[in-house]
Amino acid sequence: MSKLYEYANFSFVVSKDSVQVAVEASNIVERLYKAKTRPEKACFNLGLATGGTPVLTYQELIKKSRHGSIDFSRIETFNLDEYLGLHPTHDQSYAHFMNHNLFSHVPIPSSSIHIPKGYFPDLEESSLDDVVKKECEEYEKLIVHKGGVDLWLIGIGRNGHIAFNEPGSSKSSRTRIVELTKDTIEANTRFFTDSDCSVPSRAVSVGIGTICEAREILLIATGANKQQALYDMVFGEPEHCPAAWLRGGAPVHVCVDESAFAKLEKHLEK
């Protein structure tokens, strides 16, 4: 049985383990999807994350698709980020991750899948940043053109980063090239153990401002190593914990396991 806690615009759903967290998170997606798509032609705009944390949630969403409770043909997706310099078919690109863990298992049209472009093979290094900047601006325009994101599904890094918005990121930041911190690179090294390259040092990421403009946000976190980041999200300084910029804005549903919530539990009432 999950426990519920409320604080400011945060709603915490605390579950026993990561499996139950995924179930709760997928139920939130389903509920908001159904609320938005009741009109016959309505479409649900869903922001998506990568990394180890959301994989179980994607498995639950695949089940819901197969059971008919979510129709992915009525969903448009927008990913948070992509490594700069990896081909979309590279086994560690986020395009490959999404296809492997979600898109190839649900009936979603390729035209409804939107991922920041991070691969520009024919560009010289001197012109790369200018071209990527224009691509980032187009990504922002696309989100607006599609009516905005109904729900961003995000994770949180050990240093409080959301997407690849590292400490020091501005609340008004938009989709852009970001330099990854040593901590984030080290955290992602485990995904590159069998790869033909090391973790890229740069990525394309939506900004904090982009995330905060979503109608609602779903943050998933599991494991004791996320305790401090979650605590700082609620009580810390945004300059040091980017997730703290979520305070006071759109509703944030936080699905966590007991180990990740342990530090916050002492400071929040049910």
CA 155 → CA 47, 108, 192, distances in Å? 12, 23, 19
The β-bridge partners of 88 are none
Condensed to tens digits (0 to 9), the pLDDT of residues 91-150 reads 999 999 999 999 999 999 999 999 999 999 877 777 888 999 999 999 999 999 999 999
Q: What is the DSSP letter of 165?
A: B
Rounded to whole angstroms, the Cα distance separating 176 from 46 reads 20
Structure confidence at residue 193 (pLDDT):
84
Q: Which residue has the tokens 């409804």?
A: 112
pLDDT of residue 265: 94
pLDDT by residue for the chain (270 residues), tens only, comes to 899 999 999 999 999 999 999 999 999 999 999 999 998 889 999 999 999 999 999 999 999 999 999 999 999 999 999 999 999 999 999 999 999 999 999 999 999 999 999 999 877 777 888 999 999 999 999 999 999 999 999 999 999 999 999 999 999 999 999 998 888 888 888 888 887 788 899 999 999 999 999 999 999 999 999 999 999 999 999 999 999 999 999 999 999 999 999 999 988 875
The residue count for the chain: 270
Select which of 76, 161, 188, 232 is catalytic.
161
> What pLDDT is attached to residue 7?
95
Q: Check 60, 76, 81, 82 and give the catalytic one.
A: 81
The question of whether 166 is a catalytic residue gets the answer yes
Beta strands in the chain (DSSP E): 3-7, 10-15, 44-48, 75-79, 81-83, 113-114, 151-154, 176-179, 202-205, 216-221, 252-257
Is 81 one of the catalytic residues?
yes
Q: Which of these is catalytic: 45, 79, 101, 159?
A: 159
User: DSSP letter at 101?
Assistant: H
What's the rounded Cα separation, in Å, for the pair 4 and 189?
34
pLDDT at 270: 57
pLDDT reported for residue 183: 85
Of 260, 256, 198, nearest in space to 15 by CA: 256
Q: Which of 82, 150, 166, 257 is catalytic?
A: 166
Catalytic residue check, 145: no
